[in-house]
Chain A
């Protein structure tokens, strides 16, 4: 019973993190058609910043989270104006080749430098891992890990805030309109640059938060970024572009599959399973299990 509960909670909290970061990826795809290959790296950067702040120059976890959020928002602003802005309104092929080159190159440079300098000045084997000082929760004869509950709570709060932003605020509604129909939204007079800026600031902040949460669940290293981008893309392929329910279902499906694999055959097979799920979904249902097409 305890094991089943642990596995379920582990899978769902991992899935909630995946859903949060995949939804940020898919909103960016839907509104600007930019595939950010460095998306996974942003999780790693969030985790690295939090690890550095909390463990190397000790500040409290909430202060660290606040710094990560503000830093991520500024990073999103810079990322959009340097890498995304100039591609807006170009043909999909041009956007694709240009942004793949740019984000791939950026990711490669940053992850190499991060690994190199962390190994040189902070710790010889870079690894970003955090814990949350919540006590274990005892419910009758089962115990729930405090860290996992904290992950789940924070992830649900972040997803909820993202959802409320998109459905309740004028800017969020405009963003959804651009995601659904780019030309239509332009005819209505919506400003595509403002929307793109919003998507990247909000999306990158959400992604950096999910990186901090992921570091609470599993240890990360500088080179996990690409794999995480693929995890995000798998969730988008399963759930459909721009769909929050799809991202939640896809994320939880993948999270549970990874946790079960790690428990039954060993953690080394978890990445294989998530990649196999990716290819299996493509063969069986290329239009996504729960939503619109995958491009």
Chain B
């Protein structure tokens, strides 16, 4: 049944580029990107119970890497293959960075882990800003027009990646890795006692959650044509995925999608229709605060609990 719904949604999602305005296509494309980040976030935040406030770092690193690689001209000899090769290299680079951050980060748990991941984002942002010669510093960098991705291509790539990310989460819930993740979430001590190598399981989960995010970042960078630190890994890219997952229901495969529709719906209405003289981030902040106070387990769990209470 869930597969049927997802299949129908994907079919519907294939159509918009044929008749919608460019603004709305772009808005839906961004929704896909944020949903990918939220679905990836949930692999760690929802399944493993480690709140990662740094999902945007993987996205941004890969976006910078792919643009810098293509701009350097070193891949020109490859001809038309330069973009896929650059994307693959950028993703590998991002995974290598993720791998090296795993060790200090997983020495932490709970609230400290969350803040550690935030420290990771700030560190990467600051280092990028501090090397203006390489990265353009606060001014950002441009993509050479011959490497642009068209909006339509990026739209379909993002849609495909979103489906793959959902498939990844579903696969993890049914795999040996998923069992280990579940055991660790239940009790770190008990998981260690039955012989699970906790650090390796956590690092593998982190790498799996970084892979689609990095791919999405590479797509984003080439489609945007210009990025700076704020666009690539600013507050929106790091916090919105967490908001979406928690709003929908963390730990449920469909949670980030539900949250994503709500958050992006609010954003599209605010920016494209209402033209509020009021920064949207403040509204996200208030939503986040409201969820934390009223339904800390997300909309889906909140609704399920209400229904169960109703039947009693």
Contact = CB atoms under 8 A, between A and B. Distances in A.
A101 B296 contact: yes
B119 A110 contact: no
Contacts of B109: 295
A162 to B, nearest CB: 23
Query: Chain A interface residue count: which class?
Result: 35 or more
A241 to B, nearest CB: 10
B116 A108 contact: no
A102 B119 contact: no
B288 A112 contact: no
B108 A294 contact: yes
A222 to B, nearest CB: 11
Given A108-B284, A108-B285, A282-B104, A98 B122 contact: no
B285 A93 contact: no
25 contacts: A93-B49, A94-B296, A96-B114, A97-B51, A98-B296, A99-B292, A101-B288, A101-B292, A101-B296, A102-B289, A104-B288, A105-B286, A105-B289, A105-B290, A106-B285, A107-B285, A109-B284, A109-B289, A227-B122, A233-B115, A233-B119, A271-B126, A275-B126, A279-B104, A283-B107
B130 interface: yes
Interface of B: 49, 51, 103-105, 107-112, 114-116, 118-119, 122-123, 126-127, 129-130, 235, 239, 246, 250, 278-279, 281-293, 296
A92 B110 contact: yes
B239 A230 contact: no
Contact of A116 (B111, B282, B289): B282
- What are the 8 A-B residue pairs with the smallest beta carbon separation, nearest first? A105-B288, A109-B285, A101-B292, A108-B285, A105-B289, A102-B292, A35-B111, A112-B282
Given A116-B279, A230-B115, A268-B129, A97 B287 contact: no
Contacts of A108: 235, 239, 281-282, 284-285, 288
Given A97-B292, A105-B287, A105-B290, 14 more contacts: A35-B114, A37-B115, A93-B110, A101-B291, A101-B292, A102-B288, A105-B288, A108-B288, A109-B285, A278-B119, A279-B104, A282-B107, A283-B107, A286-B107
Nearest to A272: B126
A100 interface: yes
B119 A113 contact: no
Interface SS, A side: helix
A96 B119 contact: no
Nearest to A282: B104
Contact of A100 (B49, B51, B108, B286): B51
Nearest to A107: B285
A99 B288 CA distance: 10
Contacts of B291: 101, 105
Contact of A109 (B51, B127, B286): B286
